[in-house]
Amino acid sequence: MLSLLCFTITSQAQTKTEEIDFTGMRGRGIEVKKIERSGVILLFDGGKDTTYVPAFYDKKDNEEAALRMYYGNILTIKGINGKIKKVRFWLVTKVSDKWFSTLKENKKGAIPLNPNRKGIAIWESSGNGVDSIVFTTSRDTQARIKKIEVTYKIDPVVFTISAARHATLYYSNKAFTIPQGVVARTYKIEDNMLKLSKKYVSGDVLPKDMAVVLEADEGSYTFWMTEKQGEKDEKNVLKGTDDNSQTTGGTIYYGFSNGKRGVGFYWRKADGGAFENGAHKAYIAYTPSSTAQAKSYLVFDTATGVHLTAFQESQMEDEPTYNLAGQRVGKDYKGIIIIRGKKYLRK
């Protein structure tokens, strides 16, 4: 009888704001195509016009320094691991007694963003935010932008680990910073056994599209998304799915469970066939040299039968440690040790 290791994922939004100020720039007629900040990316395009493209112009005479967008130019604002909630434009609204174009959301029937007396035009999402938003000029003139302020929402993953103290995690499109108290591990297969490949500890970046086994004491942990890529483990045999999906990529499939041989990966079906994997959980797709000899389980590399537990290695050093004879041993002792009544293998 297998006991599936369950966990709960919830969201806990955080709102941030990025400001792009064009008033302190230098140079005239310098084309701009891309501006990237920690949470957002701004992409500028001339649209159908290849001559009058978005460009920087510094202060000259009575003109204010600004970024100029001409009729038909396009501005796309994208969130990085977050949703765009609000965009504020500080516009040069009047130059030589001539009103310049306002901006509008680039879709049919959109209402122009008319600036107030201070030259501020505001676009705001009516819902939970959007992945990206596109703006263009609204008339056959130009918009002069002094500053853009983008407010976006980040949804971290609050991961609750049960008393089993083990779980798996996978996101194809999100990278996370490992929180305090959590260790994430990847594995490789050698001699029909799982062997540790790479370990990620608190503060490390867990790359996107990489499944891991988590170890932590029972409780809730907040995984904040990051733009950093992290170091991916190319030897990692763990795979994952973003939703409830059929496992693919091998001939034999294992799901993460607490079975007769402890926490590890076990067949979900009697023949090791494909099964429906849970959202954001890891599995193993394995192609052994001989299917007939394939084991119904893949336990961790503990030849003595001692399995991994969720006890943190950093804490282990501060706990009284004993050998199998009940004698207290030091930190340098190798072999099977007992801490708080549980067995570990120290190599």
Give the structural domain span for 38.
14-154
User: Quick one: pLDDT at residue 22?
Assistant: 92
User: Quick one: pLDDT at residue 287?
Assistant: 86
Evaluate whether residue 1 is within a structural domain: no
Amino acid identity at 37: R
290 and 178 within one domain: yes
User: Quick one: pLDDT at residue 164?
Assistant: 78
**Domain end position, chosen among 96, 123, 154:** 154
Please choose, from the candidates 213, 292, 293, the residue with its C-alpha nearest in 3D space to the C-alpha of residue 258: 213
Evaluate whether residue 278 is within a structural domain: yes
240 and 111 within one domain: no
CA 179 to the chain's CA centroid: 13
170 and 150 within one domain: no
82 and 40 within one domain: yes
User: Quick one: pLDDT at residue 74?
Assistant: 94
Tally of structural domains, the chain: 3
Tokens matching residue 196: 């540790």
316 and 293 within one domain: no
User: Quick one: pLDDT at residue 146?
Assistant: 94
Evaluate whether residue 90 is within a structural domain: yes
pTM: 0.56
DSSP structure class, residue 127:
S
CA 217 to the chain's CA centroid: 23
For 274, the 3-state DSSP assignment is: coil
CA–CA distance, 270 with 96 (Å, rounded to integer): 80
User: Quick one: pLDDT at residue 342?
Assistant: 65
User: Quick one: pLDDT at residue 53?
Assistant: 93
User: Quick one: pLDDT at residue 305?
Assistant: 36
267 and 219 within one domain: yes
Categorise residue 61: left if φ over 0, alpha if ψ from -120 to 50, beta otherwise: left
278 and 167 within one domain: yes
CA–CA distance, 242 with 201 (Å, rounded to integer): 23
Evaluate whether residue 8 is within a structural domain: no
User: Quick one: pLDDT at residue 194?
Assistant: 82
330 and 292 within one domain: no
Evaluate whether residue 324 is within a structural domain: yes
User: Quick one: pLDDT at residue 343?
Assistant: 66
Helix (H) or strand (E) holding 315, with range, is helix 313-316
Helices (H), 62-186: none
The tens-digit pLDDT sequence of the chain (347 residues) is 455 555 555 555 678 899 999 988 778 889 999 999 878 999 999 988 778 899 999 888 778 899 999 988 999 999 876 889 999 999 987 655 455 677 888 888 788 888 888 889 999 998 888 989 999 988 767 889 999 999 998 877 888 888 878 899 999 988 899 999 999 999 998 877 788 999 999 999 999 999 999 998 888 898 888 878 899 999 999 999 999 999 999 999 999 987 777 778 899 998 899 999 999 999 999 887 766 667 888 876 543 333 434 334 444 556 677 776 677 888 777 777 777 666 666 65
For 223, the 3-state DSSP assignment is: strand
User: Quick one: pLDDT at residue 173?
Assistant: 84
288 and 267 within one domain: yes
**Domain end position, chosen among 104, 130, 154:** 154
325 and 251 within one domain: no
From residue 334, give the alpha-carbon distance in Å to each of 56, 196, 255, 263: 65, 18, 31, 22
Evaluate whether residue 23 is within a structural domain: yes
User: Quick one: pLDDT at residue 237?
Assistant: 93
235 and 170 within one domain: yes
